[in-house]
Structure 1
């Protein structure tokens, strides 16, 4: 998993996150792939709604060029 420092994360625009509240940073392909994995895990545990999961998948795939 790629790490962002607090300063790097704080410097990202809101548009670099898949969900409101600055959740699931996806500024690059590495983070987009990680967001897909984490979203799947949280969705299967019931910690993300269908809509949140679909949003993360859609936004991450757009960063990966898979839209």
Structure 2
């Protein structure tokens, strides 16, 4: 996955993120797959609520066409 620079991240529209607060960028398939992995990790550690996790999964899978 390519890393987004600050300028690239700042240029993304709000709907290119899975969660409000511009968290979990999902502008492309690579970032969507990474968002799924990171959300799973944070959810297991209790740092992401069930609702937030489901939102990331739903939005990332939409980007992946699943």
TM-score by length of 2: 0.98
| Cα shift readout 1:11-45 (whole Å, capped 9, x = no counterpart) | 00000000000000000000000000000000000
After superposing on structure 2, the runs of 4+ consecutive aligned residues of structure 1 that deviate more than 2 Å are none
2:59 is aligned with 1:59: yes
Cα drift, residue 2 of structure 1: 2.4
**Structure 2: tracts of 5 or more residues without a match:** none
Count of matched residue positions in the alignment of Structure 1 and Structure 2: 66
In the TM superposition, 1:22-61 aligns within 5 A as: 22-61=22-61
TM-score by length of 1: 0.97
CA distance in 2, matches of 1:56, 1:49: 11
CA RMSD of the aligned region, Å? Answer: 0.6
